[in-house]
Structure 1
Amino acid sequence: MATRRPFEMVVFGASGFTGQYVVEEVARVAAQEEIRWAVAGRSSEKLQAVLEKAAVKLGKPELKSEVAIILSDVSDPSSLANMAKQTAVVLNCVGPYRFYGEPVVKACVENGTSCIDISGEPQFLEGMYLNYNDKAEEKGVYIVGSCGFDSIPADMGVLFTRNNLKGTLTALESFLTIKFGPEGSCIHDGTWKSAIYGLSDQENLKKLRRQIGHKPIPVIGAKLKRRGAVFYCNELQQYSIPFMGADVAVVKRTQRYLHTHLQETPVQYAAYATVGGIGSVIKLMFAGLLFLMLVKFNFGRKLLIKYPEFFSGGYFTKEGPTEKQMEGSSFEMTFFGEGYSSGKDPQGKPDVKICTQVKGPEAGYVATPIAMVQAGVALLKDKSSLPKKGGVYSPGAVFSKTKLIDRLNKHGIEFSVICKPEA
């Protein structure tokens, strides 16, 4: 009989910018879900300060004395092993993951612990699949990346749309709209750094994918037409551009898994972001061209990292958003899907359409902690609905049969059907 571990969930990197908000979210959820939890990181003083801040903000003074502190550092494998041995699930908030993520995954796999992160870095996510999928399967643990805003709304949104279409969904487009309040908003520059390193390393990503050697996913039904670099979305009446995040790569991994292992019809997917009017388009194009030019060179990357606010037009800062900025911000992700009303082998023109939406609070530091924590809860509470084998998974692959969407709906990330054809 397995020895019961002291904790079910540990927040690693709890004193980081994102980690502090994950701590607050765990504190909200732990009592109602009866979860034993702890925080982990390098500095006992900083971790205690995070717990004290959360205690005041949430009106839970008991946090200061009841939540355990585990000292752990990514540069110290023994400390990571010690952390992993004490819990069922690690919520890893230490990025950029391409530099700091693998030691945590390794420690978790070796010590029979599941791990969740919020990485939007395909190189890291797919590298962990290549290096640790077999070992995680042997140990029966689940390593699940991109469980924040990248890419829970997109990945689970595709599955929600599929489940609500009367017929076979074969193609889907999503449009992300970020809304700011009167205070505006911004993103902490940790995300900016991840984007810089990722875009500068595309060749290695291609090499990594060749090593993995997956066969192409079959195209079922009419082929989804790709939009241009800038286009006007008639449905939303806004100019739009391709979304540069990890959503497409993550959804593709999920669709491959569902097709290969569960024989489900794969869904073609394209992701876009709305940018508003023509003035925003011009500003964005200028900033984007400058970014792409600088990111190719070492000196350019150093400039981008040193001056994130200048080169992003104030969108990325070293301080991150204020509480007021977060309170006034929200996101909407609208999905336009099409498919076939009958038949296992769809042919010709699609004859059914559907529109769904995922919406929620500020994406980076409110929605992301909600998504991450509920993913952790699903691993703990929905065990019978998880894949029978452990491994390195995308969110949709591991959570497709669980209650994750219901859990998210109850905690402020709402999935809804906007319109669908009559039955």
Structure 2
Amino acid sequence: MTTTQTNYDLIVFGATSFVGQILTSYLAKNYGVGGDVKWAIAGRSESKLNDLKSTLGTESADLPVLIADASDETALVAMCEQTKVVISTVGPYALYGEPLIKACVATGTDYCDLTGEVQWISRMVKRYEDQAKQSGARIVHCCGFDSIPSDMGVWFLQQEAEKAFGQPCQDVRMRVKAAKGGMSGGTVASMINIAKEAGADPQLRKELANPFSICPPEHRSNVRQPSLKSAEFDKDFGVWLAPFVMGAINTRVVHRSNAMQGARYGKEFTYDEAMMTGKGTKGRLTAYGIVAALGTFFTASAIKPTRWVVEKLVPQPGEGPTPEAQEAGFYDLRFIGRTQDGKTMITKVTGDRDPGYGSTAKMLGEAGVCLAQDIKDDLPGGFWTPSSAMNGNLHERLTSKAGLTFEVLETR
């Protein structure tokens, strides 16, 4: 929330990264250059940034380029002083993200990213939240597939439940009905780093098991939170379930959203996520196969002798799905919520691109523009979540520009 005169509404930091390139293409196509949204690109390599600019069309010849390295605090502060919002795509954030958070907090600059690294978010909140409150910087992590569809999906369901039932749903479950899209090397690198850190730190393993790990200390529940560890049959939807790898971050973000809204969903609110794997024997076998695959990946990633094998087999940072694969991708999420007195609502959230990149870039871009143009000074500085910071403003942008739909399917 920079109060001095700034040159830009937003700066894309790490613009030449895999998702950064998709994001800049989206911004150029939908907002142009030097129009209603004034933006710039930034990173450490001027030549790569200029190469990127040349791919964005003739209108982008005037797109400003700023040079800053993720480890150069002086350059990062100078960059932050020029803009209302910084969008960062430089991960793994646990390895490279802290200096930029520090610079944004010092300068009162708003910030959003697409991290899914809950252990890093926890560290940033503990180290910088008090200073962010003083400077006015609004820090909003998790503005990609993790965790906007989950976080805004629960927000939407609760809005509709309050209209229909006069109360929020105390228990909400999200189920991934269908999804199609490739995984990038950056996402895999972040997952490997989490496994590496957790393997070496028993205290971190304990923290990662805590569903309230990024909530304020006073926000806790006496109700045990559901957490799917193995294959399970879901009676609500009549299908088999497997753990959803993004659930570990999404559930934490949803609980922080509840906390940041004064326990609007209820003090004993429960939430979990899982993947639908189908009906009958095939669905059951698929669920157990996913459980085994996830266990093997995280175990191998946590141990040094086998980690290098994993790193050789998975996509490398900078690699990801082709533009055609992004276009062909999609996701369909279902939410079932129940009130304290047993009323039920089922809602649906869909995205029209592959989850991790095509859709994430659009969500991240709209979150940045929303922070810069829609969110007023009455939102104080601090560490927020997408729904608690941007609520209806972001919902409108997601549905009108970013290809998401939110729909009530059933009320009973």
Tell me the CA shift for residue 3 of structure 1: 3.8
**Given residue 286 of structure 2, which amino acid in structure 1 is its aligned partner?**
S
Please give the alpha-carbon distance, in whole angstroms, between the structure 1 residues aligned to 2:151 and 2:397: 15
Please name the residue that 2:176 is paired with.
176
**Given residue 59 of structure 2, which amino acid in structure 1 is its aligned partner?**
E
Please give the alpha-carbon distance, in whole angstroms, between the structure 2 residues aligned to 1:225 and 1:92: 32
Tell me the CA shift for residue 294 of structure 1: 1.3
**Given residue 67 of structure 2, which amino acid in structure 1 is its aligned partner?**
L
Distance 1:2 1:237, change over 3 A: closer
Please name the residue that 1:46 is paired with.
48
Tell me the CA shift for residue 387 of structure 1: 5.6
Please give the alpha-carbon distance, in whole angstroms, between the structure 1 residues aligned to 2:109 and 2:24: 19
Could you tell me whether the CA contact under 8 Å between 1:129 and 1:393 is conserved in 2? no
Please give the alpha-carbon distance, in whole angstroms, between the structure 1 residues aligned to 2:78 and 2:302: 40
Please name the residue that 1:376 is paired with.
368
Distance 1:177 1:194, change over 3 A: farther
**Given residue 359 of structure 2, which amino acid in structure 1 is its aligned partner?**
A
Please name the residue that 2:218 is paired with.
215
Candidates 258, 276, 286, aligned match of 1:274: 276
Could you tell me whether the CA contact under 8 Å between 1:238 and 1:274 is conserved in 2? yes
Instruction: Provide the aligned C-alpha RMSD in A.
Output: 2.6
Distance 1:2 1:104, change over 3 A: closer
Please give the alpha-carbon distance, in whole angstroms, between the structure 1 residues aligned to 2:178 and 2:68: 35
Candidates 135, 140, 145, aligned match of 1:139: 135
Please give the alpha-carbon distance, in whole angstroms, between the structure 2 residues aligned to 1:242 and 1:278: 13
> Equivalent residue of 2:133, what SS?
helix
**Given residue 303 of structure 2, which amino acid in structure 1 is its aligned partner?**
F
* Identical amino acids, percent of aligned pairs: 28
Runs of 4+ in 1 over 4 A off after TM superposition: 207-213, 223-228, 234-237
Distance 1:13 1:283, change over 3 A: same
Could you tell me whether the CA contact under 8 Å between 1:186 and 1:317 is conserved in 2? no
Please name the residue that 1:306 is paired with.
312
Distance 1:39 1:122, change over 3 A: same
Please name the residue that 1:329 is paired with.
329
Gaps of 5+ in 2: none
1:7-406 correspondence to structure 2 within 5 Å: 7-31=8-32, 34-55=36-57, 61-63=58-60, 65-165=61-161, 166-167=164-165, 168=167, 169-180=169-180, 185-202=181-198, 203-205=202-204, 206=206, 214-218=217-221, 227=228, 229-245=230-246, 246-259=249-262, 265-266=266-267, 267-276=269-278, 277-308=283-314, 319-340=319-340, 350-360=341-351, 361-384=353-376, 388-400=379-391, 402-406=392-396
Please give the alpha-carbon distance, in whole angstroms, between the structure 2 residues aligned to 1:195 and 1:248: 16
Could you tell me whether the CA contact under 8 Å between 1:39 and 1:67 is conserved in 2? yes
Could you tell me whether the CA contact under 8 Å between 2:13 and 2:90 is conserved in 1? yes
Please give the alpha-carbon distance, in whole angstroms, between the structure 1 residues aligned to 2:177 and 2:320: 20
Distance 1:91 1:6, change over 3 A: same
Cα distance per residue 1:285-331 (max 9 Å; x no partner): 3322322331331222222122216xxxxxx8863111111111101
Could you tell me whether the CA contact under 8 Å between 2:216 and 2:259 is conserved in 1? no
Distance 1:419 1:306, change over 3 A: same
Please give the alpha-carbon distance, in whole angstroms, between the structure 2 residues aligned to 1:281 and 1:398: 36
- Which is further off, 3-12 or 289-298? 289-298
Could you tell me whether the CA contact under 8 Å between 1:10 and 1:37 is conserved in 2? yes
Gaps of 5+ in 1: 56-60, 310-315, 341-349
Cα distance per residue 1:4-27 (max 9 Å; x no partner): 211110000000111101111222
Given the two structures, how large is their TM-score scaled by the length of structure 2?
Answer: 0.87
> Equivalent residue of 2:324, what SS?
helix
- Which is further off, 84-93 or 26-35? 26-35
> Equivalent residue of 1:21, what SS?
helix
Distance 1:224 1:265, change over 3 A: same
Tell me the CA shift for residue 44 of structure 1: 1.5
Please give the alpha-carbon distance, in whole angstroms, between the structure 2 residues aligned to 1:163 and 1:212: 22
Please give the alpha-carbon distance, in whole angstroms, between the structure 2 residues aligned to 1:317 and 1:378: 28
Please give the alpha-carbon distance, in whole angstroms, between the structure 2 residues aligned to 1:283 and 1:317: 26
Please give the alpha-carbon distance, in whole angstroms, between the structure 1 residues aligned to 2:14 and 2:84: 17
Cα distance per residue 1:323-350 (max 9 Å; x no partner): 111111101111011104xxxxxxxxx3
> Equivalent residue of 2:90, what SS?
coil
Cα distance per residue 1:339-398 (max 9 Å; x no partner): 04xxxxxxxxx32100111100211111111111111122122223x7632101122221
Aligned residues: 390
Cα distance per residue 1:237-296 (max 9 Å; x no partner): 543212222101111111122235xx6624311011223434533542332232233133
